[in-house]
Each structure stands twice: as C-alpha cells, then as structure tokens.
Structure 1
Amino acid sequence: MGTVHLNGHSLTLDDVIKVARCGYKVDLDPAAKAFVKRGASAVEEWVKEGKIVYGITTGFGDLASVTIPPEQSEILQENLLKSHASGVGEPFAEDVVRAIMLLRINTLIRGFSGITLETLSLLVDLLNNGIHPVIPSQGSVGASGDLCPLSHLALALLGLNDVFYRGQRMPAAEALEQACLKPVKLKPKEGLALNNGTAATTAIASLVLCDALNLSKVADIAGAMSLEALHGVPYAFDSRTHDLRPHFGQRSSASNIRRLIEGSEIIEAFRGSRVQDAYSLRCIPQVHGASRDALDFVRQKIDIEINSVTDNPLIFPADGEALSGGNFHAQPIALAMDFLGIAVAELACISERRVARLIDHKLSGLPAFLMENSGVNSGFMIPQYVCAALVSENKVLAHPSSVDSIPTSANQEDHVSMGAYAARKGRTILSNAQKVIAIELLAAAQALDFSSPLKPGKGVYGAYRLIRKKVPFLEEDVFMAPLIEEVMSLVESGEIIKAVEEEIGELDLGQISKP
C-alpha cells in the first residue's frame, strides 16, 4: 500500500484506481496548501466587509436574491448540506465512495473553492482512515453538480449521517470518535464548496472506464477464441488492410487478433476452407476498434475532469473576485458516458452473435449446442438466451441520458446534464457486457475441444488453459450458472488478461495508455 500525492493538477486514472480499490492513502502538496489558505482568507474578508457573493452571503439557486446576514453565514452552510442530503436508493459501493472523496479533495486543493485547510484536512483524514460516508446512489441531476450525493458525503465531516468504518455501519460521530477525529464547524462557503461539483459523476465514470478498457482486451481474446473454434480464416486481420483505414482502435484490435492466433494449428489446418467469414468474425477489428476509439475519447474527458475545479462560485483571491459560472454542469461527462455505454453495448452485441454461431450446428459445423449427445442434452442453448436478454437490456440502457433534461430549482437551473445516471447506467451496461463476453469465453472453450488434438494460437491457448482450470469440458448437461460465474470472475478480476499477456505480452489498446 502506498500514497498518492495531490496537488490538483496531476491526478491520473491509475491514481484513482489505487485509492479507490487498492487502499492507497493521499497527502496534500505543501505548496497547494498555501493556495487553500489564501482562498479561505479571501472569503473571510468578504463576509466581514458584507460583500454580496452568491452562496456566501446569499441563498442558493432560485434564492440567490435573498441576502444572508454575516452572523448566519455558518448556519447557511450547514442547512445547505442537511437539506440537500435527500438521496435515495442503494448506497454506492466502497470503491465509488473512495473515488468521490478523492476527486473532491483534488478539486478543493486547488484553492479556488474557499474551503479552510482544517475542513479539507478532515476529509483527507476520513479517506485515509477508511471512514466511508453512506451515499445513496440516486438523486443527482448532474447540475449544480452532484449536490445530493456530495451533501451526504459532506455531512460526515459534521459528525452527521452514517458511515462504514471497520466493516460496520455506524453514526459518523461514533466513527470520528473511534478514529480520534473531531467534527468541524463549517465556515462561510464551505458547504457549497463540498457539495457543488461533478465528483460523484466523474468518480463512477472513472471506475467504469477502467473496467471498460480491460473489457476491450477481453473482447479481443473472446473473439479470437471464437474465430479459432469456428475454424475461421485469418485474412481479415492482415495489417495491410488496416493500414488503408488507419483508425487507431481498429489497427490495435487487428494486431491483438494476429498475436492471439499466432502459431495456431487450427487456423493453419483450415486456412484454405473459405475466403471470408461472417461479419461477427471478419469485422472484429472494425467493431471492437470503434468501441476502443470511443473509450479513448471518454478517457480524454475524464483525464481533464479529475483535475478540474467544478464548484461555484469560484474564488479568485488575487483578483478579489468571486465568479459565478457553470463548471458544475456535468455535460462533458454525461455525453462521454452515454458514448461509453453505446461503445460497450456494441462489444456485447457482436459477442452475442458469435455465441449464436457457436451453438448453431448449421452455421458452425460443430455439434448442436456444443454437445455431442444433443437432444437429451440442451448444452449451451440457454446461455445464448441469456446473452440475448442482456444485449436487449443494453439496447434500452444505451439510450442517452444527456438528452433528457428536466428543469430544477424553480427554473433557475433550467438545463441539467443527467450525467450521474449516464455514469450509473454505464456501469450496468458494462456489467451486462462482462457477462455476455464471459459466456462467449465459456462456449468458445467448449467448442475448441472439438478441434483437438489441433491446438489454437499461443494467446488463445493461454486463455483456454485458464478456463479449463475452473471449468471442465461438458459431456452432458450440468448446472450452468456456477460455471458462468467462474468465468465471470476471470473477466472481472483481469485474470484472463493476465494469463494471455504472460504468453504473448501486453495487448494493445491503440492510443489509450494502460489504465
């Protein structure tokens, strides 16, 4: 376990994963702390002067015209969090909560939010001590940022709300006491600094993107396995073809397939059987590659967002100004996550078509439903049904959230991004796609055994051997669900990628660097 150093400018997706999923702690850059102090001092001076500044000496949203006396400014901030913590639904998972906390800290350390170093340091202490606020997953419209979930997060700093600590759910005050920490009293602007921004949307998006990047590799592995199992021909993956249409993702996927099937006895034996295959095999580079390029676009947006200041108003101490803008609007991430959802749904869609070919003896030349004694045995008939059901769900979920704005706050906030749901449904689409591709891997491994003693390419064989350690060749019907779960675990954990890359080296992600 290590530490990620935060300065507000250099956070990476890899850092997010380390903190969210690997338990890394964080610390604050000493130089950045000076900017935090300067911003807090500016806010303090403005309150003393009676300066009219949105959210500091005024109400919020449609109440921006209501002036708040200086003596009530602290109450204003606490009331803001209490009233805005109105979320519903299942709590976010621990990795999401840790990512949210990290991104909020990385924004606040920039010093443009007016938060005090004391309050920011307590948020760091919560993260480093594993005190994770209970944050309901539903309630954000993605502007003014993720007000609802971030308010649930911020209340823990006051000793309010529940948290998860040392494996138990308990009141925040109790967890703070056990960790020898004290709740804070909010200063002017601090409530708004804590709950206004895109941290929740972007945290979910970051984790989903990381898993989607890995799945794009697994999709190539599964596609190559099906290609071999179906006695496909290699001509469609020739680099000369892809150099004439040089999309980065397409070329990287074609390169991966070539490496995965290199040295295949099966491919060599059936090389002259036909000149081309069905699209679900022949067009793997074009389809998988387009999804990979879409993920590259999403990564560009997330790389920017995780190092951005997204609350309102923004404090510019050097200029003596507080500017009310719209950086909290999550439209960049909403559009990106809608794009991710479409891209990942397509990985599942073409995978399901390959599963359908594997089980159809009229198309595959293999035993019906991949079972020698079909009829009394149904074999892989219903796993393909499951793929069809999941792909159909994804088609509905892939409808973009970002086109569905509903005005809020008495029409002061008359266009919102729905970015939080775009990110959440991206997670659901990804989970469905992981299941579909896991079923393809399971079916392709079964189908490969019918080509024995011929061996597949070195990369495909690495994946096949790992699957066979968990799941045997099926000679008759068995309880299938646990077998699918076994292969699912190999997909989710990245073990299937590791097994392949140990054989042929790191698979290519095109322009995208390793997550």
Structure 2
Amino acid sequence: MHPADINIPQREIKFDRNRLAIEDVTDIAKGTARAVLSNDPTFREQIARGADFLDRLLREDGIIYGVTTGYGDSCTVAIPHDLVEELPHHLFTYHGCGLGSYLTPQQTRAVMAARLASLSKGFSGVSVELLVQIEKLLAAGLLPLIPSEGSVGASGDLTPLSYLAAVLCGEREVWRDGMHVSAKQAMQEAGISPIRLRPKEGLAIMNGTAVMTALACLAYDRAAYLTRLTTRITAMASFALDGNAHHFDEVLFSVKPHQGMQQVAAWLRQDLQCDKAERNGKRLQDRYSIRCAPHVIGVLADALPFFRLSIENELNSANDNPIIDAEEETVLHGGHFYGGHIAFAMDGMKNAVANLADLLDRQMALLVDSRYNHGLPPNLSGAQGDRAAINHGLKALQISASAWTAEALKLTMPASVFSRSTECHNQDKVSMGTIAARDCLRVLELTEQVAAALLITVRQGVTLRQRLQSDAVLREPLSKMMEMLDSDVALIVEDRRLEPELRALLERIRNQSWSLYAQEK
C-alpha cells in the first residue's frame, strides 16, 4: 500500500542521531508514519564532517578500505586514483545477483528506514545528499525491488542492499503503487534526480544489517500481537471446553516469578471467572494445552523485552565498515556488519512463536474431539437432527491447522548455526541473520493461519457450549470478542467453504484489528 492511499494522518519520525523504536520502523513500513531527515544544522554538519574528512584523506593519498582498495579479500588490491570514483558503481553492480521472491513494499519501506537510521548516526562517511535521497524515495513511494535471498548476514546484507544503492543512482527497478517500474523512469516522473555515489557511499549503504533488522522489527510487531491473541483464544477455548479457570489463580502464579507468564495468567483472569465459587463441579485438572497455556505463551512474553533490546540496539547502531570517526579523524576497521544479535533473536523468536502454533493446534484437537470436549458435538458441527449425519463441521479445518503447525515447527531449525565460509575465506564466520529473519516471518505467517483457524473454532465452540449450558455466561471481554467474530464468521451449521472467512480473519490479525489487553513494552 502506498502512503498516499492511507487516509489517516501520518506522524513524522525524525531521523537524526537520537534513538528510534521498533514502532517507528513498523509505522513507516505500514504507511502510518513518514520518515523526515532532521534539518538541525548541527546534525547535518556532523554528517557532512565525515564525508569531508574522507575527501581530505583521499587528497592526501590515504589508504581507506573500500575506497582506495578493493572489497573483502581484495583489500590488498590498490585502486588507481583515477578509478576511485567508479568503485561504488562496481560494488552494487556485481552484487546484483539476488533471487527469491521480492521483499514486499511494507518490508522495503522498513529496510529503507533501517538503513537511514544507521547512516544518520554520522559514522559512515556519507553525504547529507545521500540521506536526503533515501528520504525522497520514501516520500515518493518509490521502493527498490529487492530480492529476498542472497545474504549470509555478515559483511552485512550486501546483495539485497545493492538494490537500494542502485536505485539511488537511477538503476534497476522499483515498486510504485504496487507495480514494477524502471527506477530511471519512476524517478524522472517524480522529479528526483539520480545521484552519483561518493567513494565510500556504496559500501556504507550495502555493508550493514538493514534488511535483517527491518524484518526483525516487523517480526517483533507481529509476535507481540500474537502473544495477546493466543491468550484470548486460550480463554475462549477454556470456556468452550468448560475448563477450570482456577488454573490461572493469582496466588498459584505468584510462586513462579516469570513476569511474562504471570502477565498471561492475569490476562486470562480478566477473561474468565476464576473465583473459588466457580471451582465447584469443575474437573480437578485440565489438559496441558489449557492448564499450561500461560507457561507456553509466557516464554514468548518473557522473551519479547530481550528481543526488543537486541533489535533496537541494532537499529540504532552504525553497522558498516569501516567506521569513520570525523571528530578524532580516524578510520576504524571492524566487523559491525555482523548480524549475530539479530540472528539469535530471530531464531529464538521463531521457536517461541511456533510453540504458540503447537499450543493452538492442541487446543483445537481437544475442541473437535467428542471424547475430550466435554459434551460438544463431534467436529463442533452445528447441524442437528438428520442433517447431522452428512455435515462434518471443522473436520477438514483441523487437518489444515495441523499442516500449518507442522510446517511452522519444521522451520524452527536455527539458521544462525549454519555459518558458511565465503568470499575466499575472508567472510569465514557469518551470522545468517537475514535467513533467520525470513524464517521467522514465515513461522509467524503460519502461526497466524493457525490462529485464524482457532478463531473460527472457538467462535463455534463457545456458541455450542452456551447452547448446551444455559448458565454458561461470558465475561465482558469474551462477550465483546464474540460480537466481533460474529460479524465475520457465521455459525457453521451446514458444511461450507471456509477459505474466505479464514482470509478475512487473517487480514484482521495482520492489521491488528482487535484491541487485546494492554500492550506493554
């Protein structure tokens, strides 16, 4: 979606040397905020100072990696002075070998925001004009067409970010209003002139962690919402199964001090009758997928603050090489392009999220099975009388949810341990952070599909429980949730195709349409 298509006011997010939050990137990605490069003269002078320092070094015949030398293992190759200006163009040209599906416009806006954030720290030796060019492209909705595959996540996201570097210079293709257009044509029509990269600017754009960090920001946003949605679904599943809500007792959870787990239990207490009077007549212990739900969801809830810290630290870092310290007039060679923190966060997140899919899948298995659903009809079919014999309720949906869960669980193999030695053994230990981030997004997608299936399931199960037990009364949070679900999903009496409703629910999940508990940082 192009920002111009969104009819809500866009807040301005200022890019300077101050710290940004994950939400700043996700709002830019969603088109609800726009990136604005600071006009503060002090900030702009700090940026310009780095580029001026590099210019002076060049005039003095200084040796600068990636400016007067070749790249990577070719750092021992001296570049003739009259060819230095051509080097950045060669860097993004020979890295134009990405494959796989293209990053979506939303993902691409996040990538551009993440790269702009890093370069704005003032340690990359780039010009103000380069930063302004990224700002212009974002404002015009001209987004580089970036293949998602081809990065090993150390020396940064070289291949995918080469597509950003090329577009800044008017080469390759862009997304414009959801279509693929020549960058040169689109920029000409938007009144944006291509730039010529200064000696270190190709390296500064490409030699960083912007792609994996951007995808991690988007993953965090979705995972945080799934934490709350899975809790709400669990509450509805417990109600439909006539479960024992005292499993979420406050005193019980006080003796195991994991804060995220305790928060999930508190949310469940908001949704369910947990007082002592309600214990009478209930089973002593529900099965683990209900009773231990706070312990499962709580792992992700407790990990989210760590994930946030790792992602936001990377977002707010200068992560290319070399680092240019204009204040001390030094060039510092290091490895800040290494995406290990993002790789570890994404591998951990996809594991915790896949466990949500598994939890929901187990809850669904209980709900549709008349041996375990405590009086509800087989497969939660709403058909009655003779019609019940030919209607199959949620039988096929349970199979599909199981397939999505299995695929999510399969993808939990950590990418970060599969380092490869590349580029003549110069890049001999790499992070695989971008692969981990892509895997995490796929696990999130599959888990959201399982959640959509469970929303249909618990909507059906709650209604059938109330039909069975006239005294089964929903507390206000669940009652409101049922009202919202009723508008999207009619009770399933006669068998029908459920794909349209699943897709509608997926859209609501990804737009975070339901307000679920208080969101905490």
What do the CA deviations read for 1:347-375 (whole angstroms, capped 9, x no partner)?
A: 11011000000001011121111114544
448, 453, 459: which one aligns with 1:439:
453
1:296 aligns with 2:314: no
| 1:99 Cα deviation after fit | 0.8
SS of corresponding position for 1:201:
helix
What whole-Å deviation, never above 9, does each CA across 1:193-251 have from its counterpart, x for those lacking one? 11110000000110011011011110001000000000001111111111111111111
Q: 2:483 aligns with which of 444, 465, 471?
A: 465
Q: Which moved more, 1:473-482 or 1:56-65?
A: 473-482
CA distance 1:19–1:376, shift in 2 (3 Å): same
For 1:468 and 1:477, the matched residues in 2 are separated by 17
User: What amino acid is aligned across from residue 484 of structure 1 in structure 2?
Assistant: L
Please say if residues 261 and 458 of structure 1, whose CA atoms lie closer than 8 Å, have aligned partners that are also in contact: no
1:369–1:378 Cα contact (<8 Å) kept: yes
Match of 1:275 in 2: 284
Deviation per residue, 1:77-99 (Å, 9 max, x gap): 11001111211111100111111
Contact kept, 8 Å, 2:379 with 2:395, in 1: the verdict is yes
Question: Residues 270 and 360 from structure 1, CA distance in 2 versus in 1: closer, same or farther, beyond 3 angstroms?
Answer: farther
Is the deviation greater in 342-351 or in 464-473?
Answer: 464-473
Query: Does the alignment pair 1:192 with 2:206?
Result: no
Matched, 1:24 2:33: yes
- Asked if structure 2 preserves the Cα contact closer than 8 Å seen for 1:43 and 1:114, the reply is yes
Superposed CA deviations along residues 303-328 of structure 1, whole A, max 9, x for unmatched, are 11111110000001222211110100
* Residue 424 (structure 1) aligned with residue 438 (structure 2): yes
**Structure 1: any 5+ residue segments left out of the alignment?**
502-506
Following the alignment from structure 2 to structure 1, what is the Cα–Cα distance between the partners of residues 184 and 464? 62
* Contact kept? 2:88, 2:203, Cα under 8 Å: yes
Q: Is this contact kept in 1: 2:245–2:273, CA < 8 A?
A: no
1:13-35 superposed Cα distances (whole Å, 9 cap, x missing partner): 11112211024222222232111
Question: Identity of aligned pairs, percent?
Answer: 34
> 3-state DSSP class of the match of 1:89?
strand
Q: Distance in 2 between matches of 1:407 and 1:375?
A: 61
| 1-structure distance, mates of 2:262, 2:278 | 26
Indicate yes or no: 2:417 matched with 1:403. Answer: yes
2:7 maps to none
CA contact (8 A) 1:35 1:110 kept: no
Q: CA deviation at 1:263?
A: 8.8
User: Secondary structure of the equivalent of 2:155?
Assistant: coil
Amino acid at match of 1:144: S
Indicate the residue corresponding to 2:45 in structure 1: 34
Q: Report whether the alignment pairs 1:94 with 2:112.
A: no
Q: Matches of 1:70 and 1:115 in 2, distance apart? A: 19
Could you report, residue by residue, the CA deviation over 1:276-331 in whole angstroms, capped at 9, with x for unpaired residues? 21111111111111121122221110111111110000001222211110100001
**Does the CA contact (< 8 Å) of 1:262 and 1:459 recur in 2?**
no
Q: Cα distance, 1:488 vs. partner?
A: 2.2
State yes or no: 1:367 paired with 2:377. yes
Check conservation: 2:246, 2:274, Cα contact below 8 A: no
Query: Is the 1:253–1:508 Cα contact (8 Å) retained in structure 2?
Result: no
Partner of 1:504: none
| CA pair 407-24 structure 1, distance change in 2 beyond 3 A | same
- Cα displacement (A) at 1:382: 1.4
- Between Structure 1 and Structure 2, how many residues are aligned? 501
TM-score (norm 2): 0.93
Q: Which residue of structure 2 aligns with residue 14 of structure 1?
A: 23
Instruction: Write the distance in 2 (CA, Å) between the matches of 1:90 and 1:14.
Output: 25
Instruction: List aligned pairs for 1:50-449, cutoff 5 A.
Output: 50-262=61-273, 271-365=280-374, 366-371=376-381, 372-373=383-384, 374-449=388-463
- Determine if contact 1:198/1:330 at 8 Å carries over to the other structure: yes
Q: Match of 2:130, as an amino acid?
A: T
Distance 1:182 1:174 in 2: 11
Q: Does 1:47 align with 2:58?
A: yes
The one-letter code matched in structure 1 to 2:211 is A
2:511 pairs with one of 489, 493, 497? 493
TM-score, normalised via structure 1 length: 0.94
Q: Cα offset for 1:269?
A: 6.6
1:479 and 2:497 aligned: yes
Note if contact 1:112-1:316 (Cα within 8 Å) is conserved in structure 2. Answer: yes
Structure 2: runs of 5+ lacking an equivalent:
1-9
What amino acid does structure 1 have at the position aligned with 2:20?
L
Amino acid in structure 2 at the alignment position of 1:138? E
CA RMSD of aligned residues (A): 1.6
CA contact (8 A) 1:234 1:271 kept: no
